[in-house]
Amino acid sequence: MEAIEIWWIPLVIFAPLAGALLNGLFGKRIGKGFVRLVGVGTPTLAFVLSLAAFFGLFYADYGTSPRAQVVAFRAEGKPEVIRAIKAELERRAAGSLGPEAAWQFRIEDDGEVLRIRNASPEDTILRDLHTRYAGSVEFGPAHEVASPRAYAWNLGEWFAVAGLKVDFSFTVDRLAIVLMLIVTGVGSLIHLYATGYMGHESPGTFARFFTYLNLFLGAMLVLVMGSNLLLLFIGWEGVGLCSYLLIGFGYEDEDNAACGTKAFVVNRIGDLGFVLGMFTLLVAMRGLGAEPSLDFAALNNTLGATPGSLPLLGPACLLLFLGATGKSAQIPLHLWLPDAMAGPTPVSALIHAATMVTAGVYMIARLGAVFTAATVWGVPVLGIVAMIGVLTAFFAGMAALGQDDIKRVLAYSTISQLGYMFVGVGSAAMGAAVFHLVTHAFFKALLFLAAGSVIHACHSQSMREMGGLWRKMPATFWTMLLGAAALAGVPLLSGFFSKDFILFNALVRFNSTNSSPLWGFIYALGVITGLVTAVYSTRMICLTFFGEYRGHGRPHESPSSMVGPLVVLAILTVLGGLLGLPKLWTHKEELLPGEWLGPMWPFIEERLAGNMPADLHSLESMGLAIGSVAAVAGVLVGVVFWGRRHPSEIAWESRQTGALARARAVLANAWYYDLVVNKWGFQPATKFLAGLLWRNVDDAAIDRGLVDGTGRVAVQLSLFVRSFQNGQVARYAGYFVLGVLLLTTSVAIFSVPSVLHTVQRLLGS
C-alpha cells in the first residue's frame, strides 16, 4: 500500500477536539449560540475534510483512467510463460497511443501471476495473448486495484521502550475513509438534531453536552484513523469514556449514573481481553523473529501471512474478540447496551447505534489478515466469531420483541444487527460487514432520531403511552417507517441489500468444499432472525403510530432542526443500497464492499480460492429470494398481530396468560441474562467477597490478629520479664546461679572453638 503523507490528515481529529475544548472552557459563559456554532461546526469541518480525503483517494486510484481495472494472467509453475507474456505486452504498449499506454505491470506470487493495472478483460490484445497461451495460462479480472492509495501523517513518537516504538501516526485508507465519512457525516447530522433536542436545557448543561459529544467524535476518529493497535485502543477507551459520561448525562438521577458505570465496567472486562490479545500478538511476532511492532501493516503482513501456522494467533484473536464483544455488545458482554439507553436519545443514535458500537467489527476488519489466519484447535477463529454473531443476533432480536420501551426495542435491535455484522466478518466477508455497518448507521440513526422525536413529543419512552401518532407527526412517521422497513429487510431498501449480502456470504461458506454444517446453521438462524426483525419492526411502528393515542398531552411535530436530519437520513436509508447492488444484477463487483473495499483484503480471495462453490449466481438468487420472503412474512405477521385498529394494541399482549405470558416475560427480561449474570452473579459476588475479606481477613486476621497480636505478645512478654525484677535479692541470687549453669552447659555442648569460629566468620576477618 502506498501511503502519501498529507499534513492536514490529523486536522480531521483535531477539529472536533478543538470544539470540545472551546465548548468545555467557554461554552457556558458565552451562551448557547456559540455552543451550537462550535458544536455543529467542528464536526462539519471534519466531514468536509473527510470528503476531501475521500475524493483524493478516489481520484488517485480511478482518476488516471476511467477503466482502472486490474486483470491478471496466472500460470501455475510456469514463471517463464508469465515473463514472456509481460515482455510481449510491454512491447505492444510501448509505442501505442491507445489505452494500452496506461498499463502498469506487476509480477507477483513467485512469478506465477502478472497483474496489469488500467486494463480491461475485453482488450483484444490481452484476449489474443490468452488464446495463444491457452491451456497453460488463466486469464481474467483480478477484482482489485493492485495497490490502493492511502494517506498518512505521523505526529511523532508516543513512546519507545526496549525496542518497541509506538507513534502517534494516522492512516486514511479505503476502509478508514468509509468509517470517517459515517462518523463525521452522520455525526454532524446528529449534532444538528441535538441542538433541537437539547434546546430547552440550561446553557451550562447544553455546553457540557456538546463538549462530550465533540470529544466523542475526536476519540472515535482516533480509533478509526490510528495506524497501530495501541492508538486504536486510545480511541477505543476514549469513546468508552464519552459513552460513560453521556449515559450518565442526567447524573442527578443516580440510576443514570449507575448505567454509565455499568457500561464502563463491562467494557473494561472486554478491554482486559483486548490488551492481553494485543500482548499475545506481540509475543507471536517475536516468535517469528520479527521486530516487535503494533502497526497494523506490520501485524497483518507478518502474522497474517501464513494461515494456520502460528498457534498463538488463535488465542490472541479470541482475546481481541472478547474486547469486541464488549464494545460491540455481543454475547457474553452485551448486557450494558440496553441500559445505555439512559443517555439522551441523540447519544443513543450516535454512539450506541451508528458509530462506537461498530468498533469491534472495524477492529476485526482492520486486522483482517491476522483474523483469517487464526485457528484454535483447528477451528477458525472467524467461525467462532460468526457463531457468536448469529446467536447474538437471534437472542437479541427475540428480546426486542418483548420490549415496551421504544428505545430498548432499538437497543436490542442494534445488538442483533451488530450480530449480523459479526456474521459478515466471520464469513471472511469484511466488505459485506462494513457495508451493513454503513447502511445500519443510516437506518438505525434514523430510527433512534425518529424515536427521539416521538419521545420529545409524548414525554414518554413507553410505547404503551404512544399510538396514533402518524397523523400528528407525519414527517416523523414517514421517515421512521422507511427506517423500520430498511431494518426489517424489505426488498430494495438499503438494509435488505447489506443484510442479504452478509447472509449470502454465509451461504457461500456453507456451500464451499470442506465446509462445516455449522455454516448451514448460521445461515438458517440468520434468516430466521431476519423474520424476527421484520416482526418487531412492524410491532414497533404499529404500537407507536397506529391505533389510538394512549399518552398524555398533545403531541406535535418536532422543530425543523430535528426533522431535517430525519429527512436526510431517510434519503440515505433508501438509496444506501446502491452502494452494494448484488453482482447478480449488475454483473460487476458490488460498489462498496467489492470494488472499493475488496482490495483491502486481497488475500481473502486467494485463501478461499478453490473452495468456492461453482455456481455463485444461483446461490445469490436463492439467497435474495429467501431473504425477501422472510422479510415480507415477518411484516405480515406483525401486521396481523399488532396492526389492527384496536384502541390499545399492547393490551393484546398483556391479556395473555399461560405459556404466551411466560414467553413474553422471558423476552421482556431478555432471557434473564442481566438478572442472573449481573444482579445475582457479578455484583453480589464481588461485594460479598470484598466484604468477607475485609471483615475477616484484613481487619480481623491481619490487622487485629497478626499485627496487634504481635504487639500484645510483646507487651505480655515485657510484663512477664518485669516480674523478675521485683527487688528480692534472694531471688536474684537464684537467677544468677541458674544463668551460670545454663552458660556452662551450653559452652560444653557447642564447644568453644566453633563459637569463636562463627564469630570470626561473621566479622569477615
Q: Which residues bind other proteins (CB under 8 A)?
A: 157-164, 204, 230, 233-234, 236-238, 241, 244, 248, 251-254, 256-258, 260-261, 264-265, 268-269, 271-272, 275-276, 278-280, 282-283, 286, 292, 686-687, 689-691, 693-695, 698, 702-703, 706-707, 711, 763-764
Q: Express the helix, strand and coil content of the chain in percent, nearest 5 each.
A: 70, 5, 20
H or E segment at 743?
helix 729-749
What is residue 146's three-state secondary structure? Answer: coil
- Distance in Å, CB of 291 to other proteins, minimum: 11
CB of 221 or CB of 522, closer to other proteins = 221
- Distance in Å, CB of 706 to other proteins, minimum: 7
Residue 162 backbone class (left: φ over 0; alpha: ψ -120 to 50; beta: rest): left
CB of 41 or CB of 292, closer to other proteins = 292
**CA neighbor of 260 nearest in space, from 339, 198, 354:** 339
- Distance in Å, CB of 94 to other proteins, minimum: 51
The string of DSSP letters for 488-528 reads HT-TTSHHHHHHHHHHHHHHHHHHSTT--THHHHHHHHHHH
- Distance in Å, CB of 455 to other proteins, minimum: 23
CB of 94 or CB of 763, closer to other proteins = 763
> How far is Cα 426 from Cα 301, in angstroms, rounded to an integer?
20
| 606-638 CB burial, b ≥16 within 10 A, e <16 | ebbeeeeeeeeeebbeebbebbbebbbebbebb
Contact (Cβ atoms closer than 8 angstroms) between residue 439 and residue 398: no
CB of 102 or CB of 241, closer to other proteins = 241
- Distance in Å, CB of 244 to other proteins, minimum: 8
- Distance in Å, CB of 207 to other proteins, minimum: 11
Q: Edge to edge, what strands does the sheet with 104-108 contain?
A: 104-108, 113-117, 70-74, 138-141
> How many whole angstroms from its chain centre is CA 479?
27
CB of 226 or CB of 555, closer to other proteins = 226
- Distance in Å, CB of 229 to other proteins, minimum: 11
Q: Are strands 2-5 and 149-161 parallel, antiparallel or unpaired?
A: parallel
**CA neighbor of 16 nearest in space, from 140, 233, 202, 187:** 187
Cell of 760: 570470626
CB of 706 or CB of 740, closer to other proteins = 706
What count of Cα atoms within 13 Å lies in the side-chain half-sphere of residue 29? 4
> How far is Cα 606 from Cα 36, in angstroms, rounded to an integer?
50
CB of 145 or CB of 198, closer to other proteins = 198
> How far is Cα 173 from Cα 426, in angstroms, rounded to an integer?
22
CB of 91 or CB of 268, closer to other proteins = 268
- Distance in Å, CB of 248 to other proteins, minimum: 6
- Distance in Å, CB of 24 to other proteins, minimum: 9
> How far is Cα 246 from Cα 590, in angstroms, rounded to an integer?
37
- Distance in Å, CB of 88 to other proteins, minimum: 52
Which residues does 72 contact at the CB level (< 8 Å), separation at least 6? 113, 114, 115, 116, 139, 140, 141, 142
CB of 69 or CB of 256, closer to other proteins = 256
> How far is Cα 544 from Cα 555, in angstroms, rounded to an integer?
12
What is residue 104's three-state secondary structure? Answer: strand
Backbone φ, ψ for residue 228 (5° rounding): -140, 165
CB of 39 or CB of 248, closer to other proteins = 248
- Distance in Å, CB of 689 to other proteins, minimum: 6
- Distance in Å, CB of 286 to other proteins, minimum: 7
CB of 1 or CB of 230, closer to other proteins = 230
- Distance in Å, CB of 544 to other proteins, minimum: 31
CB of 160 or CB of 575, closer to other proteins = 160
- Distance in Å, CB of 160 to other proteins, minimum: 7
The CB density around residue 302, as the number of other CB atoms within 10 Å, is 20
Contact (Cβ atoms closer than 8 angstroms) between residue 592 and residue 178: yes
CB of 59 or CB of 694, closer to other proteins = 694
- Distance in Å, CB of 751 to other proteins, minimum: 24
CB of 69 or CB of 293, closer to other proteins = 293
Burial class (CB in 10 A: 0-12, 13-18, 19+), 314: buried
> How far is Cα 615 from Cα 606, in angstroms, rounded to an integer?
18
CB of 207 or CB of 400, closer to other proteins = 207
CB of 261 or CB of 301, closer to other proteins = 261
Q: Which amino acid is at 433?
A: A
Which residues does 718 contact at the CB level (< 8 Å), separation at least 6? none
- Distance in Å, CB of 330 to other proteins, minimum: 18
The string of DSSP letters for 185-253 reads HHHHHHHHHHHHHTTTS-HHHHHHHHHHHHHHHHHHHHHHHBSBHHHHHHHHHHHHHHHHHHHTSSTTS
